Homo-oligomer: A and B are copies of this chain.
């Protein structure tokens, strides 16, 4: 990130100068979303919402292939439902929007005030285990009703005091899957199956390489027996979760009375799972791929694929250039990129260079300029977002049409490889307490956000050690990778024997 610093960049500040502010500026310049006048809530603008639609489309198909069906459950959760699972209510009671009245009425001063108090306060869902559990307990009576595999796409609210667009907002969009099974093995298989789907989404579509593993007890979903996660490294070397899947054991089945009669006519509690990803993923896309010129979108999930920019300096050229552009757009739109129609923007604003920079900042994978000379030569002038803004080349029109799919694939691959290299470069096995503390101490005093990255270090399994590191450094265990058991050594905090090497990092 050092070199770009000196060049003129489209985004101010650069990543190296002020990463958090760079992030806000990239989101703004790309027109993905903005803060709303409602505290903590965001407005997702069309360019950002298209990313969510594409994510939804990909995930929804993968879910359905495994037998999951979509449904919809109430926005409101009665207070008593939330109280049914002790850890769960403790975690969410602190940050929930509470509906207490069902109308507004003129007060003594003529202004509207809340009226019609509701008997039992309703909580706007922060997650739906308890309300979906109430349905599951009605729907399930026999082993023949299992497994029950349900997903919902919806909004949820977790009241946040300090918000950051996409990463931490009071309202966000997500999907939450909820399943019930007859055996713990089956439930655990499902938990991991869904984690694998998230890994496929993250890796193949978002071009984000993520580390897979289990959460330590302190980082588990409140009420879960095991939480599994994908942890990706952002460009400030902090970790961001790109999917979590929870094995809930029988905790929520007991809380919601989800019972079934087995083939042997015993009455048993079911085993449940839940799993979800949210609009936070858009923040992960921004922070993984973007550069000091703005957003960079992976083609597989991009809001659109190509921007065509006709260049018309003389009125006499207008018709030929526009016809050429329209015909090209039509031919491109007639093609598919991995099952999705190629999406083409025609930008005929007459703004000169600013127009090209707009599309760079919006992160569109391909920019195509078309002037009278290009038309005459039957060629187009192409810029790729994974290359420098001025690195453009003239390509014969027909060749461009024929090769657009492999070009997009190449961009997709480059973004993934670049992110993987970055993560590998900033991931280190650390074996001494001293090195560990140094690793997480900012190297650049001007930018306190930048530190070492992911540390693979031993941990004895004691929550006290975990807590000490968090208190001292603001560093947490992001996950325990599946092969962790094999790596023995000494706990980075207390020096005791440790049977596993885990991933430590600062995190969003």
Considering the complex, give the chain B residue whose CB is closest to the CB of A155: B75
Known A97-B122, A98-B102, A112-B83: A74·B131 in contact at CB below 8 Å: no
How many protomers of this protein does the assembly include?
Answer: 2
A465 within 8 A of B: no
Considering the complex, give the chain B residue whose CB is closest to the CB of A36: B74
Considering the complex, give the chain B residue whose CB is closest to the CB of A135: B43
Known A43-B72, A46-B71, A112-B79: A100·B100 in contact at CB below 8 Å: yes
B159 touching A103 by the CB < 8 A rule?
Answer: yes
A94 within 8 A of B: yes
A232 within 8 A of B: no
A285 within 8 A of B: no
Nearest CB in chain B: distance from A104 CB, A = 4
Residues from chain B with a CB closer than 8 A to the CB of A437 are: none
Residues from chain B with a CB closer than 8 A to the CB of A75 are: 41, 124, 155, 157, 171
Which of B34, B95, B104, B112 has a CB less than 8 Å from the CB of A103? B95
Nearest CB in chain B: distance from A15 CB, A = 27
Known A95-B102, A98-B101, A102-B95: A73·B150 in contact at CB below 8 Å: no
B46 touching A134 by the CB < 8 A rule?
Answer: no
A96 touching B103 by the CB < 8 A rule?
Answer: yes
Count A-side interface residues using an 8 Å CB cutoff.
Answer: 61
Known A102-B95, A104-B96, A173-B72: A122·B79 in contact at CB below 8 Å: no
A71 touching B45 by the CB < 8 A rule?
Answer: yes
A313 within 8 A of B: no
A101 touching B100 by the CB < 8 A rule?
Answer: yes
Known A89-B112, A122-B38: A100·B102 in contact at CB below 8 Å: no
Known A44-B72, A98-B99, A112-B83: A38·B93 in contact at CB below 8 Å: no
Known A95-B103, A104-B93: A49·B37 in contact at CB below 8 Å: no
A38 touching B131 by the CB < 8 A rule?
Answer: yes
Known A46-B71, A71-B45, A76-B171: A97·B96 in contact at CB below 8 Å: no
Considering the complex, give the chain B residue whose CB is closest to the CB of A349: B144
A78 within 8 A of B: yes
